[in-house]
Amino acid sequence: MAASRRCNVSSENLTVNDVKTPKIDINGKVDLIIQSKKHANDVFDVLEYLQSEKEKNVVCAIDGCTKLFSTLLERGELYVGQLPKEELLIGGDRSADEKYCMFMRHRYNGCLELLLEHISHESYQIKESALCALMQFASMEGKFPLQDLDWSEHYSFPRELIQAVVERLLSQEEDMALLISRFQEYLDMEDVRYYVMSSVRENVGRVMDKTKGVSPNNVFTLLSNINMPSQESELTNYLVKQEGQPAEHKRTFERLWLGFLKYKLPSSMYKKVLVILHDSILPHISNPTVMIDFLTAAYDVGGAISLLALNGLFVLIHQHNLDYPDFYKKLYSLLEPSVFHVKYRARFFHLANLFLSSTHLPVYLVAAFAKRLSRLALTAPPAVLLMVLPFICNLIRRHPACRVLIHRPSGADACDDPYLMEEEDPSQCHALESSLWEIQTLQKHYHPDVATAAMAINKPLSQQEDAISELLELSTYELMERDLKHKQSKTVPLEFDPATQLLQGSGGVGVLGLNFSLE
């Protein structure tokens, strides 16, 4: 029959065209189809290429299809409205034009399906092209709707198409991070974003319930790429020209996140959400207080998650008048040896600095913080010490009553440290009765800058606070570079003991030689 004939033709064509490069072949065919309806059957060949094994061919075919169907859409040569089944098409009593439109519409649908499949292709090249083609179609469909227009609605948006794309993007099998970042370009458009949000919201439940694989990742990546505009007036960028409804957008955004956060997230995802929470989510939520439960729960988890939740909490406390009981006590309990080593220490100390900058804090609390920090400083790397030491000094500067920590002339007799490290309550830890011997210890630190910074407690502190903002992110390597930039004296001191062998002791005992052998 017709189908078989078409197959034969296409296979013949393929064999014939093997000599030609597929690209020229595809382009030629697309041109022919566009020029006249006679060549309508060549569309099968093009679609064939779409399923080709070769990456290059597929990409060319996608380009060809985009061109072809865009033109057809523009010309209105695709059937509009409810599409009858293809089998019925032959028998139906319709005009040739109508039949052609229906035929082409079927091919178009087939093409869309293929493209949607390609979004899950292994090759990123194909994925990307497919995505672009789909979005192109979406935009064309927006302009030249394929549905019978219901004139009560002012615009039509290819909702189904977007939904299908989103569904594919939220694949449960593979990580779509790269593709999603490509997709972000389209998310900048208001309507796309809106419809993506609503379709994601519908999908979240399905995806989150079912799997534990990569899917939350995809959801998160997609969500984190949704950048709400900071001002409503900016709603100008549309895929399909239409009016905007900012309030509606905001509400969808809020519901979307709440829906997402409702589910139990793995801790890495938790951290990621918390990282972006304060500046890309909270400001766009109409009622940020709905996040309180989420944040307090996160704050109670402990460890790095608590550190991160601090940021969101800060926004709530600061801007939304949240009253958090025992906030400082919790903050105090967050100070653990690992706090100096985690990735988020800059953020944590930035916030801690903010929280402790209030001059209305009780003295015992500040003293407890200072003492605990200095105790922990005994395990910190030099880059952190350079930040923590000025931090402690600043605390004492802000609260002059804490000066007894570094200067207690009355009780000059020696004593054991009354501070209780294990006590969780800052009011019970006797920090005020102690002294910062740890900082005195650090005066013997091997790094000259740390030793110098620790020397500051020998003298009454100056009034001016030390700026710690640029020290927050200091890494060991930067410290090393700073050392090297340090103006060096002309001569480099040398070891005067002549070296005769590798494991010879230097500067004291040859510890290496005692424990290791040259093997």
Partner 1 sequence: MGKPPKKKNLADKVRKTKTSTEIKNNPFEVKINRKKFDILGRKSKHDVGLPGVSRSKAINKRKETLLKEYKTKDKANKFIDKRFGEYDTKMDPEEKILQRFSMERQRTQDKKDMYNLNEEEELTHYGQSLSEMEKLNDMVDSDDDADEKGVLSAELTASHFGGGGLLRRKTQGEKDNGGNQRAKSRQELIEELILKSKQEKRERQNQKEESQVLTEKLDQDWKSIQGLLAHKNAPKADRLEEEDKPKLDEYDMMVRELGFEMKAQPSEKMKTPEEVAREERERLQKLEADRLRRMMGDVVEDCTKTQAHMSADDLNDGFILDGDEKPTLAYQVRDQAGSALSGKGPGRLCLVGEGTKLDGKWNINEEGAKIEGDDEEEGGEGESGEEESGGEEGSGEDSHSDLDSEQESEGGEEEVEEEEKDEEEKDEVPATKSQLSEEERKAQAEAAKTELPYTFKAPESYSDLKGLLQGHPADHQCIILARTQKCNHPSLAVGNKLKLQKLFGFLLEYVGELASRSPPELSTIDKIIPQLYGLCQLFPEAASKAMQTTLVDSAHRMEEVLEVKGRAAFPQLDMLIYLKITALLFPTSDFRHPVTTPALLYISQALTKCPVMSLEDVTSGLVLCCLAVEYISFSKRFCPELINFLLGVLHLAVQDKTSTGYSVVPPFRQNGKVSDLLVLSDPESSQTWSKKTLPLSATQTLTLTTDLDTDHYRLSAVATCMDLLKHCSSLYRELTSYSHIFQPITTLLSKHLPIKTYPAALQDLHGEILATISGSLTSRPLLVFQKKKPIPLKLFTPKIVEVLDYGKKRGNTKEEREKERLNHKYKKEFKGALREIRKDTRFLAREKLNEVMGRDAERKRKVKELFGSLATQEGEWKALKRRKNSRH
| Minimal distance, residue 477 CB to partner 1, in Å | 4
Which CB atom, from 91 or from 508, has the smaller least distance to partner 1? 508
| Minimal distance, residue 303 CB to partner 1, in Å | 11
| Minimal distance, residue 424 CB to partner 1, in Å | 14
Which CB atom, from 325 or from 493, has the smaller least distance to partner 1? 493
Which CB atom, from 193 or from 399, has the smaller least distance to partner 1? 399
CA pair distance 45, 37, nearest whole angstrom:
15
| Minimal distance, residue 217 CB to partner 1, in Å | 17
Which CB atom, from 284 or from 375, has the smaller least distance to partner 1? 375
DSSP labels, 41-93: GHHHHHHHHHT-S-HHHHHHHHHHHHHHHHHHHHHT-S--SSPPPHHHHHHS-
CA-based end-to-end distance of the chain? 81
Which CB atom, from 105 or from 445, has the smaller least distance to partner 1? 445
Looking at residue 1, the DSSP 8-state letter turns out to be -
Q: In which residue are the tokens 């061109």 written?
A: 67
DSSP labels, 95-111: -HHHHHHHHHHHHHHHH
| Minimal distance, residue 276 CB to partner 1, in Å | 18
| Minimal distance, residue 127 CB to partner 1, in Å | 24
Q: Which residues contact 118 (CB under 8 A, 6 or more apart)?
A: 50, 58, 62, 126, 127, 129, 130
| Minimal distance, residue 208 CB to partner 1, in Å | 27
Task: Please name which of 47, 59, 152 lies closest in space to residue 103, comparing C-alpha atoms.
Answer: 47
| Minimal distance, residue 447 CB to partner 1, in Å | 7
Which CB atom, from 248 or from 483, has the smaller least distance to partner 1? 483
Which CB atom, from 155 or from 516, has the smaller least distance to partner 1? 516
Task: Please name which of 134, 150, 111 lies closest in space to residue 30, comparing C-alpha atoms.
Answer: 111
Look up residue 103 and give its two tokens: 């035929």
| Minimal distance, residue 386 CB to partner 1, in Å | 12
The widest CA-to-CA distance across the chain, in whole angstroms, is: 110
Which CB atom, from 26 or from 479, has the smaller least distance to partner 1? 479
Q: In which residue are the tokens 């967050």 written?
A: 334
CA pair distance 426, 340, nearest whole angstrom:
20
**Measuring CA to CA, how many Å separate 190 from each of 187, 194, 249, 280, 348?**
7, 6, 8, 16, 35
Task: Please name which of 226, 177, 222 lies closest in space to residue 204, comparing C-alpha atoms.
Answer: 222
Distance of CA 354 to the CA centre of its chain: 25
| Minimal distance, residue 342 CB to partner 1, in Å | 7
CA dihedral (51, 55, 60, 66) in degrees, to 10, reads 60
Which CB atom, from 201 or from 445, has the smaller least distance to partner 1? 445
CA pair distance 212, 75, nearest whole angstrom:
46
Which CB atom, from 34 or from 503, has the smaller least distance to partner 1? 503
User: What is the Cα gyration radius of the chain?
Assistant: 34
